[in-house]
């Protein structure tokens, strides 16, 4: 009940109090390309990257923040703080990391950090103004993790854009993401090549600010 | 390994607070039981379930969960009735990752892929 009241209040305040700088959270499952996208935006507009990217799951295990990113959208300027979240997962098995050449101790440490990262990302849901939900368009989008992330944003009244990432990869199916979540705006991009990022900036300006 | 599936009625779940419900689910899963709940968890409960799972993961015995919410397709009237009564119609499948490999949605069905340590001689039968 209190949560519903807070959501209504948040929506009303958003109408009257358009923020000049939005706190933009990057959410999604593990290995969807959140940090690649955050890096691409930060590199293009600030000349520096935010964090490491890797094919090893749970490379981002702490919330990473970069402030005052100003992006020109053609019709104006967009100011945002980018908050790159660890990927959301329902399981963390240290043995999976050992398949990437880590020894037992390294893998266990990474697993422990990964679980803390997931908790931190969930806690941060209360501190973001808007969210980009980054999904990998080469895999089935109808997963419980994606459904839970979107359900939580809807329940909290946080505006979102779904990013269908990795469209540069052969066999990617951004339309499958659109079919899975027809109630939300889906922007197909490639964070790796920068394809369609201009469309993304316009969408952020139009839908999230 | 024996496979235990427990069906839990909505009445049983209704009598529990949110925290009790999450602890009940995690407790059962850590005993290697797959649960089929006669209700859906709401998104906030799902996030709490993930958060609690992350706190409970230990490197040797418990690596996490797989779960899937199956919403009951209902009319607007049913939805309003559900909202008033607080009852969330549908099902939730939830279990430990050491047993559930994946849960996937097909066009007309949901498939659960379970891992069973069946000896090779039995597999041939």
pLDDT 10s digits, A64-91: 898 888 888 777 788 899 999 999 999 9
In terms of CA atoms, which chain A residue is nearest residue B93? A144
CA distance B12 to B26: 16
How does residue B122 score in pLDDT terms, banded at 50, 70 and 90?
very low
In angstroms, the first-to-last Cα distance of chain A is 27
Question: Looking at beta carbons, which residues of chain A come within 8 Å of B65?
Answer: 90-91
Going by DSSP bridges, is the β-strand pair A186-188/B33-37 parallel, antiparallel, or unpaired? unpaired
**Chosen from A1, A3, A86, A90 to mutate, greatest number of chain B CBs within 10 A:** A90
- Residue by residue, DSSP assigns A41-90 as HHHHHHS---S---SSTT---S-EEEEEEEEE-SSSEEEEEEEEPPPB-S
CB contact under 8 A, B51 and A91: no
Q: Is the pLDDT of residue B119 over 60?
A: no
CB contact under 8 A, A152 and B67: no
Q: What is the domain extent for residue A68?
A: 2-208
* Residue in B54, B59, B103 nearest the CB of A118: B54
Over residues B54-76, the mean pLDDT reads 85
Q: Is the pLDDT of residue A11 over 70?
A: no
pLDDT at A129: 94
**Chosen from B18, B29, B48, B50 to mutate, greatest number of chain A CBs within 10 A:** B50
The three state secondary structure string of A153-209 is: HHHHCCCEEEEEECCCCCCCCHHHHHHHCCCCCEEECECCCCECHHHHHHHHHHHHC
Question: Residue B125 has which token pair?
Answer: 């039968």
User: What mean pLDDT value characterizes chain B?
Assistant: 84
Chain A closest-CA separation from residue B122 CA (Å): 28
CATH number for the domain harbouring residue A129: 3.40.50.300
Lowest mean pLDDT among A35-44, A92-101, A141-150, B21-30: A92-101
> Are the CB atoms for A151 and B43 separated by under 8 Å?
yes
Q: What length does chain A have?
A: 209
Query: What is the total count of domains within chain A?
Result: 1
């Amino acid at each position: 009940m209190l949560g519903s009241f807070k959501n209504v209040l948040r929506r009303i305040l958003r109408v009257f109090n358009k923020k000049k700088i939005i706190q933009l959270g990057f959410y999604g499952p593990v290995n969807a390309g959140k940090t690649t996208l955050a890096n691409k935006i930060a590199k293009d507009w600030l000349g520096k990257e935010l964090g490491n990217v890797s094919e090893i799951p749970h490379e981002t295990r702490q919330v990473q923040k970069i402030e005052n990113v100003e992006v020109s959208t053609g019709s104006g300027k967009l100011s945002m703080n980018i908050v790159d979240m660890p990927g959301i997962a329902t399981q963390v098995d240290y043995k999976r990391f050992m398949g990437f050449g880590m020894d037992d101790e390294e893998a266990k440490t990474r697993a422990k950090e990964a679980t803390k990262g997931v908790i931190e990302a969930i806690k941060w849901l209360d501190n973001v103004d808007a969210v980009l939900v980054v999904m990998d368009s080469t895999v089935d989008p109808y997963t419980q993790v994606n459904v839970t992330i979107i359900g939580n944003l809807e329940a909290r009244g946080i505006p979102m854009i779904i990013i269908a990432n990795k469209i540069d990869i052969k066999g990617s199916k951004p339309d499958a993401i659109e079919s899975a979540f027809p109630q939300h705006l889906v922007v197909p991009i490639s964070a790796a090549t920068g394809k369609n990022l201009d469309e993304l900036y316009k969408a952020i300006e139009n839908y999230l600010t | 390994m024996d496979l235990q599936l427990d069906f839990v009625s909505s009445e049983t779940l209704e009598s529990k607070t949110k925290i009790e419900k999450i602890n009940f689910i995690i407790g059962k899963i850590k005993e290697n039981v797959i649960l089929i709940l006669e209700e859906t968890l709401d998104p906030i409960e799902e996030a709490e379930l993930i958060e609690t799972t992350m706190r409970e993961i230990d490197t040797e015995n418990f690596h996490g969960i797989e779960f899937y919410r199956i919403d009951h397709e209902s009319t607007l009237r049913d939805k309003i009735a559900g909202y008033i009564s607080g009852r969330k119609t549908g099902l939730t499948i939830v279990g430990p990752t050491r047993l559930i490999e994946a849960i996937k949605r097909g066009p007309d069905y949901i498939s659960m892929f379970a891992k069973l340590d069946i000896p090779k001689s039995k597999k041939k039968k």
